[in-house]
Chain A
C-alpha cells in the first residue's frame, strides 16, 4: 500500500492531505491553497483511498456526506407527503380505505390511495430510505472518526510554518519571543483551561478536543436507536392489543398468553363543571360546551394460577387494583395497560312488567339480562313469562317471518315473549322491541310493559409491551450526549512558534471564530506577540 512520507520524516497513510505530524501540505492542490481545509485535519478519509471492487464502490457511496445529506432530504420530503391526507391508521376504522379516500377527498384522494401514500410510513421504499440512513451513519462515521483520531493524536507541537501560514487566524512578525511574554501567555492560557505542550521552542495550546467526537457519539446514539426500532419486529419484543371490556366483565388480557385477566370494576367519565372547578375555566366551558376532565377504568388485575389451555376455567388471584387513567397506565411485568377509548351507556338489562292491557294491572316484573337470558321468568300466582326468542340487534324479519339480528351487540334488542296467565294458561305471544309491540298470533290480553333500562359503559384498554424501549432510551441518551458534546464546546488550538527570527502565531477552532478571537486577544494583551488576523473576511 502506498504511504506518503513527509519531509519531516513522518509516514502518512495514502490520501493524506496535511501531514499528520507537522502539518505540511502533501498534495499539489493543498500546496496551492491559501487557507488549508481543516475539516478532518487533512487526514486521509478511508473511503477515498480505494475504489476498485464493488464493495469499495458501495462503501464509498455510503461514506459520502453528500449522499447522507441527500438521504436526509429525501426522507424529509417523503415524510411531508404523508401528512397531506390522514394516514390509514387515523381514518375511521369502520370505512375501508379503498373507498374512504375517494369518498372524502375526491380524485386526489383516490390518487393518494392508489400510489400508496395512505400508508406511506410503512411502505417498503420509506423503510428502505430509513435503512439507507442507518447504513450511511455507520459507514460515514467509521470512515472519518478513525483517521481524525489518528491525526489529532499524532499532531506535533512544532507545526511547519507553511501549515501555520495557511490557518485562518495567523500573524507573523520579525522578532523573537520574550521569555516574560511567553510566561504571561502560558499563565493566561492556563487560566482559560488550555492544555499546553511545548517542544523545540514551539507552543501548542489546545482545549476541548473531546468536542470533536460529539458528532460520532451522536451517530452511535442514532444507530442504537434505529437498531432498537428494528428489533420491534422481532417476535415477543412488542405487543400492541386493544381490549374492549364492559363494566363488570373479567377478560383475559390478550398478549399475556392467558396468564393475566383484568376486570373492569367501573368506568368513569367526568366533565369539568362550572361551580365545582376553577372559576377561570367558566368562559372556556361556556364557549366549548363540555370539556372532559377524566376518563377512568377501575381495574383489577388477576393472575390465572391454572394457566391452562384457552377456554379452560381460570383460577384467578388478585394481583393488583389500579385506577387506569389517561397518562396513568396500569403496569405489571413488562406490560402497560392504557385507557384508550370508551363507549357509554351500552344496554345491559331491560325491565318489563306483565300488564293487563285493559285494567293496567301489573303482575310482576321481568328483568331480562341482555347478556344472559333465562328461558322462563316465573312471577308466581300462575303468571309466567317464557322467552321464545332474543334478537340483540333487531334487523327485521325474513321472508319466512323469522326475526333476524344484525349483530350480537345489544343495540336494538327485540324479544319474543310467551305470556302465561291464569286466563291464558297456554300463553299469548308478543313480539317486543323498543317502543313497538307486535302480536303476531292475534290480539293479546296482556302485554310486556317497558319499565326500565339498565346500561353500563364499555371501556377500551390498550395493552402494550415494548421491550425495545430501554434500547431506544439508551440510544436517545447517547445521541443527546453527543449532540451537546459537539455543540456546546469548541475545539480550539493556538500555535506559537519562533523560527529563524520570526514569530509565528496561528489559531484554529472548529466553530465560533469570534470566541476564539476574543480569547486570543485577551491572552496576548500586554505582550509583544502579534495578534492574529482573520483572513477569511468578506
Chain B
C-alpha cells in the first residue's frame, strides 16, 4: 500500500518537473501567432504541448495511485484539493489549447499551475482517512466537478491577464499599470510564501507557544516560521527561538496572520528586487512575450473559458454541493462561508456574462473582470479555508 503511495508522490513530482520544462518550451514557441485551420504548430509548440500532456498524464497517475492507496479520491484535504485544482488548470489549458492553438497561453497557464501545486505542497501531505461527513460518493462528484469548473475559469483569468499585459500602455504610469502590478505582486507573494515556508521547513524551525484561545482556554500552538506576531497571552516554550514583536487578540489566529505577514514581506523583497534589477514593471517585463498574440483572440479565449467553465462550476460547486449538503448536513444550504463564497463566485460570473452580453463589455474591461473572478475563486480556496473557519475547514 505505502509502495503505491510512494509511486504516487513520485508521479506528482515528475508532473511538476514536466510542467516546468513545458513552460520553457512554450517560451520557445511564442514567436508563432494564434493559428488558423490548416496551419501547423511549430516544433517548439508541438514539443511543449506534448510535454504538458505527458505531465498531465503523470499527474493523473498520481491521482489514480493515491486514490488506490487511500481508498478514496484524493480530494479530501487542502493539499489534495489544491493539487487537483492545479491539475484541472492544466487540463482546461490543454482543452482550450486544442481549440485555439495559442502557445502564449501555455507560457502563462503552466507557471500558474506550478505555483498552485507548489502552494498545495505547503500543507500536510500525508494520506488522511475520511471523517464521517466526507464518507460519500458525493465527495468525488462534488469536489472534482467544482475544481474542474474553477480550472476552466482560471484559463479565463490567464487569457485576461495576457490581454492586460499586452494592451496596457507601460510607457506611462497610470491607475491601470498600478492595478496590474498589484496582481503581479500578489503572484510574487505566493511565490514568497512558498519560498519562506520551504526554507524554514528545511531548517526544521519549530517554536511552541502556550496561549489563551478564543474560548478562554489554554492551548498550544506551534509556529513553523519565526513569530512576528504572537498568540493571545502567548508564552514561548521552545528555547532559543524568536519572541513575537506584537501580541494578537484571541480571535485572530496569530499563526496564520504571521504566515501571511512573512509571505507579504517576502513578496515585497522579491518584487522590489525584480524592479531594482530590471528597472521595469513586472508587467512591462512580460510584455515582449505576448507581442505576437491577437488581442481579439485573447478576448475570445477568456470569454469562451467562462462560457465553458460557468456551467461546470455551477453544477459542481452549487448543485452537487447542495445535493450532498442535504444528505450530509441535513440541509442543502446553510450559509456556511464556503457556500456563500461559491455563491458569490456564481453571482460574479453571472454579472460578468450579463455585462458582456447586454452592456457590451469586452476587451479590457472583460479582462479585468476575469482577473477579479479568479481573485474570488482564490479567496474562496485560500482565505475561506484558512482564515474564516467554517464547516469546510478540513485541512
Contacts and interface: CB of A to CB of B under 8 A. Distances in A.
Chains A and B touch each other in the complex, with CB atoms below 8 Å apart: yes
Interface of A: 39, 65-66, 68-69, 72-73, 75-76, 79-80, 82-84, 86-87, 89-90, 104-106, 109, 121, 215, 240, 272, 277-281, 283-285, 287-288, 291-295, 325-327, 329, 336, 338-340, 462, 464, 466, 469, 472, 476, 479-480, 483-484, 487-488, 511-514, 518, 521-522, 534, 536-538
B129 A66 contact: no
Contact of B296 (A69, A104, A339, A538): A538
Interface of B: 1-2, 5, 36-37, 69-71, 100, 124, 126-129, 131-133, 135-136, 214, 249-251, 295-297, 300, 303-304, 307-308, 310-311, 314-315, 319, 322, 326-328, 330-332, 334-337, 340-341, 343-344, 347-348, 350-351, 354-355, 357-359, 363, 384, 388-390
A119 B326 CA distance: 21
Contact of A83 (B1, B71, B388): B388
A279 B3 CA distance: 11
A285 to B, nearest CB: 7
Nearest to B34: A514
Contacts of A327: 132-133, 135-136, 327-328
A105 to B, nearest CB: 5
Given A280-B69, A326-B133, 19 more contacts: A39-B357, A65-B354, A69-B355, A83-B388, A89-B335, A215-B357, A278-B1, A279-B1, A284-B124, A284-B126, A284-B129, A285-B129, A287-B126, A294-B132, A327-B135, A327-B328, A469-B326, A511-B303, A537-B296
Nearest to A484: B311
Contacts of B310: 483, 487
A66 B359 contact: yes
Q: What 5 A-B pairs are tightest by C-beta distance, nearest first?
A: A326-B132, A284-B128, A283-B126, A65-B358, A83-B337
B337 to A, nearest CB: 4
Contact of B131 (A80, A292, A340, A487): A292
B335 A272 contact: no
Q: Say whether chain A's binding surface is mostly helix, strand, loop, or mixed.
A: helix
Contacts of A104: 214, 250-251
B307 A87 contact: no
21 contacts: A69-B359, A72-B351, A72-B354, A73-B347, A73-B351, A76-B351, A79-B340, A82-B335, A89-B334, A90-B336, A105-B251, A277-B129, A281-B129, A284-B129, A292-B132, A294-B132, A327-B133, A327-B135, A327-B327, A472-B322, A487-B307
Nearest to B363: A538
Nearest to B70: A280
B2 A280 contact: yes
A480 B136 contact: no
B152 to A, nearest CB: 11
A326 to B, nearest CB: 4
Contacts of A534: 296
Contact of B347 (A75, A487, A513): A75
Given A76-B344, A106-B249, A472 B129 contact: no
Nearest to A339: B132
Q: Say whether chain B's binding surface is mostly helix, strand, loop, or mixed.
A: helix
Contacts of B354: 65, 68-69, 72
B335 A326 contact: no
B217 to A, nearest CB: 13
A347 B308 CA distance: 58
A90 B128 contact: no
A79 B127 contact: no
Contact of B70 (A66, A278, A513, A537): A278
A504 B320 CA distance: 49
A106 B69 CA distance: 47
A64 B63 CA distance: 47
A117 B311 CA distance: 31
Nearest to A76: B347
A286 to B, nearest CB: 9
Contact of B307 (A68, A84, A511, A518): A511
Nearest to A288: B128
Contacts of A472: 322, 332
A272 B330 contact: no
A148 to B, nearest CB: 12
Given A72-B354, A483-B314, A280 B1 contact: yes
A72 B350 contact: yes
Given A66-B359, A83-B340, A464 B330 contact: yes
A386 B330 CA distance: 47
A40 B195 CA distance: 52
B335 A121 contact: yes
Contacts of B358: 39, 65-66, 69
Contacts of B132: 292-295, 325-327, 339
A526 B205 CA distance: 70
Contacts of A469: 326, 332
A340 B331 CA distance: 11
Contact of B297 (A79, A281, A483, A514): A514
- Most interface-central of B100, B251, B310, B336 (chain A CB within 10 A): B251
Contacts of A336: 330
B303 A65 contact: no
Contacts of A278: 1, 69-71, 127, 129
Contacts of B357: 39, 215
Nearest to B37: A518
Nearest to B343: A79
A281 B303 CA distance: 43
Contacts of A484: 311
B169 to A, nearest CB: 14
